[in-house]
């Protein structure tokens, strides 16, 4: 079998038609990892015993003649900040080098209930802080489309695993673009769901009001199959939404698409702009109404995000204190010395930078000037989207680039934090507003993949997936 051409839908049909077994499939993907991953470095750990045990279970279910869930027997990869019971979970950090997860994240439990086969844990920027997967404490993941370039981040390992056919699908997390940007760079589909649509229980926290788990897959149809499996209310997550996701039929001839003028400005790669605009033109030719809109406060989104996200990270990462779990240095000395030595050795440069920024923003005398002000601007960013969607002349979806550039060279931006942060300039406002958004491949710019970002209204994730599927077929 050629795993390069397999999708969830094809695997499901192949297993039902007895073209291959789940065990054979898992072995084929494990073989693909053996062959390719020395060059790609998508995985931090591979779990062949777990995968083969789950595959055997899936085969038994298929043989029983009972109902077979869509993901049964389908090999997948999990970002290494999402807990899988009994498997090492490092979040790409030395401070958790030997930490083994004591339970399953809710999304992992749901995948296991479906019968999915977990091949391993994927590389990531440390604690999801980065846009290139160069901030991992362990290795640098390479883009399968061009191994001299980054796969994006922080879910770069998850994106690379799917793009290199080292997994059929993967789970990533998106705090400011960490699913959509690597999906764009690697030429795959990546969905950032509405905040609250997918449980965060068992996700290592970076910025709790922004983090969201989502699927990364080869096709929109595959992404929807995974989203259907992992979404839904969870009592273990206080921010989990208990309502129903809207799933009305979308008529391309009746939809109104907004193009934010602030997203097509000086600084965007001309080839990226041309590729995205060509895709939008094709949709317009099918009868969709396309109009220019304004998101006036988007110019402040980057600064707002880096105050809110670092402040929450400063609080969330205080738990790595050398006492509870993870790395523990100088246990015989004074408590402060243990803190300083453990955190000094365990955290990487970018994590330290963000903890310091966040601690400063929350400190006495600066809280009102920075953190409180950022929360006020966050409301303005949310209001921009609300007006765009809900005013009398509002739109149904917003279309724009995922990133102003294609995948950049490894090492090109690692020593320039501001340049790295700007890679997420078109994605972070979506997290500040808690909206659903997807990256769909829409063409190439100088031979490298470009993603079209489709942003929808709160809890209209299924509508976003519908229109994304239409776009996918149109630009293929």
For the chain, give every domain's residue range.
Answer: 3-230, 252-301+370-475
Instruction: Dig out the tokens for 407 from the structure.
Output: 């995948």
Does domain 3-230 fall under CATH 3.90.1300.10? My reply is yes
Q: Which of 132, 154, 170, 231 is catalytic?
A: 154
Catalytic annotation, pick one of 21, 22, 41, 79? 79
Report the C-alpha gap between 138 and 126 in whole angstroms: 9
Active site residue 155: no
Question: Can you spell out the DSSP letters for 218-235?
Answer: SSHHHHHHHHHHHBS--T
CB-based contact 77:3 (threshold 8 Å):
no
Q: Is 79 a catalytic residue?
A: yes
Give the CATH H-level superfamily of domain 252-301+370-475.
Answer: Amidase signature (AS) domain (3.90.1300.10)
Distinct helix (H) and strand (E) counts, the chain: 15, 11
CA angle 428, 473, 458 (to 5 degrees): 35
Instruction: Please indicate whether the domains covering 3-230 and 252-301+370-475 agree at the CATH topology level.
Output: yes
- SS3 call for 131: coil
pLDDT at site 247: 86
The tens place of each residue's pLDDT in the chain, 476 residues long, gives: 799 999 999 999 999 999 999 999 999 999 999 999 999 999 999 999 999 999 999 999 999 989 999 999 999 999 999 999 999 999 999 999 999 999 999 999 999 999 999 999 999 999 999 999 999 999 999 999 999 999 999 999 999 999 999 999 999 999 999 999 999 999 999 999 999 999 999 999 999 999 999 999 999 999 999 999 999 999 999 999 999 898 889 999 999 999 999 999 888 999 999 999 999 999 999 999 999 999 999 999 999 999 999 999 999 999 999 888 899 998 888 999 999 999 999 999 999 999 999 999 999 999 999 999 999 999 999 999 999 999 878 999 999 999 999 999 999 999 999 899 999 999 999 999 999 999 999 999 999 999 999 999 999 999 999 999 999 999 97
CB 427 within 8 A of CB 180: yes
pTM above 0.85, yes or no: yes
Q: Cα separation of 140 and 37, whole Å?
A: 12
From the candidates 131, 178, 240, 469, which is the catalytic residue? Answer: 178
The yes-or-no answer on residue 254 being catalytic is: no
Give the total residue count for the chain.
Answer: 476
Give the H/E segment covering residue 156.
Answer: helix 156-163
């Amino acid at each position: 079998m050629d795993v390069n051409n397999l999708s969830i839908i094809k695997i499901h049909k192949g297993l039902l038609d007895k073209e291959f077994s789940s065990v054979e499939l898992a072995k084929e993907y494990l073989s693909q990892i053996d062959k390719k991953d020395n060059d790609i470095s998508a995985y931090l750990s591979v779990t062949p015993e777990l995968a083969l045990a789950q595959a055997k279970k899936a085969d038994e279910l298929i043989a029983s003649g009972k109902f077979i869930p869509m993901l049964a027997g389908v090999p997948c990869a999990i970002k290494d900040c999402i807990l899988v019971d009994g498997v090492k979970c490092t979040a790409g950090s030395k401070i958790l080098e030997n930490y083994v997860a004591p339970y399953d994240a809710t999304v992992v439990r749901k995948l296991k209930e479906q019968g999915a086969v977990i091949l391993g844990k994927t590389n990531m920027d440390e604690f999801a802080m980065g846009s290139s997967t160069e901030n991992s404490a362990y290795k640098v993941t390479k883009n399968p489309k061009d191994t001299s370039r980054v796969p994006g981040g922080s879910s770069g390992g998850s994106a690379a695993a799917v793009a290199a056919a080292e997994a059929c699908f993967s789970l990533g997390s998106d705090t400011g673009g960490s699913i959509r940007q690597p999906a764009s760079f690697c030429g795959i589909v990546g969905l950032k769901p509405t905040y609250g649509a997918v449980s965060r229980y068992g996700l290592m926290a970076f910025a709790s009001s922004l983090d969201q788990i989502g699927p990364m897959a080869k096709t929109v149809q595959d992404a929807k199959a995974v989203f259907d499996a992992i979404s839904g209310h969870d009592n273990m997550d206080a921010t989990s939404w208990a309502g129903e996701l809207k799933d009305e039929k979308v008529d391309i001839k009746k939809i109104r698409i907004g193009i934010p003028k602030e997203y097509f400005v000086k600084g965007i790669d001309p080839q990226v702009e041309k590729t995205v605009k060509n895709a939008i033109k094709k949709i317009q030719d099918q009868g969709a109404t396309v109009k220019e809109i304004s998101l006036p406060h988007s110019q402040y989104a980057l600064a707002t995000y880096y105050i809110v996200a670092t402040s929450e990270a400063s609080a969330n990462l205080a738990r790595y204190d050398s006492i509870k779990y993870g790395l523990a240095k100088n246990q015989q000395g004074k408590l402060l010395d243990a803190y300083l030595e453990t955190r000094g050795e365990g955290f990487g440069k970018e994590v330290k930078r963000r903890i310091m920024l966040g601690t400063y923003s929350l400190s006495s005398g600066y809280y009102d000037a920075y953190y409180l002000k950022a929360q006020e601007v966050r409301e303005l960013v949310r209001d921009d989207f609300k007006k765009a969607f809900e005013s009398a002349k509002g739109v149904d979806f917003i279309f724009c680039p995922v990133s102003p550039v294609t995948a950049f060279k490894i090492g090109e931006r690692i020593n320039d934090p501001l340049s790295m942060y700007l890679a997420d300039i078109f994605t972070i406002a979506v997290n500040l507003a808690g909206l659903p958004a997807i990256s769909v491949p829409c063409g190439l710019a100088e031979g490298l993949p470009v993603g079209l970002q489709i942003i929808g209204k709160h809890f209209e994730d299924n509508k976003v997936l519908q229109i994304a599927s239409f776009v996918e077929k149109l630009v293929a």
